[in-house]
Amino acid sequence: MKRLTILLLMMFGVSLATVSCRETTEDKMENVADDLEDTADDISDDVDNMTDDDATDPVENTVQEGVNEVKENTGMGGEDDM
């Protein structure tokens, strides 16, 4: 009888632990919705960064500054840096 009682208590404890830790369907749906919203925000930020002139090509900006500097120093025009 003692073994049977211990066995039943252990089975009850294991079943209680596994049932209480289950994630409900609503929780899963909320997590998926949050993940989709985060992904959409990330994509929107990436698109904004791609369309920003200064962020898209820093090399082009550096080259253009060098060209302007050469033009200024040779007397061929250029844009003065202020």
CB 56 within 8 A of CB 50: yes
pLDDT computed for residue 1 by the predictor: 72
pLDDT computed for residue 13 by the predictor: 86
| Token digits of residue 61 | 């900006």
CA distance 7 to 50: 63
CB 61 within 8 A of CB 54: yes
pLDDT tens track for 17-69? 777 666 678 888 888 888 888 888 888 888 777 766 555 566 667 777 878 78
**In the predicted model, is pLDDT for residue 5 greater than 80?**
yes
CA distance 7 to 14: 11
pLDDT band of 79, cuts 50, 70, 90? low
| Token digits of residue 59 | 């090399």
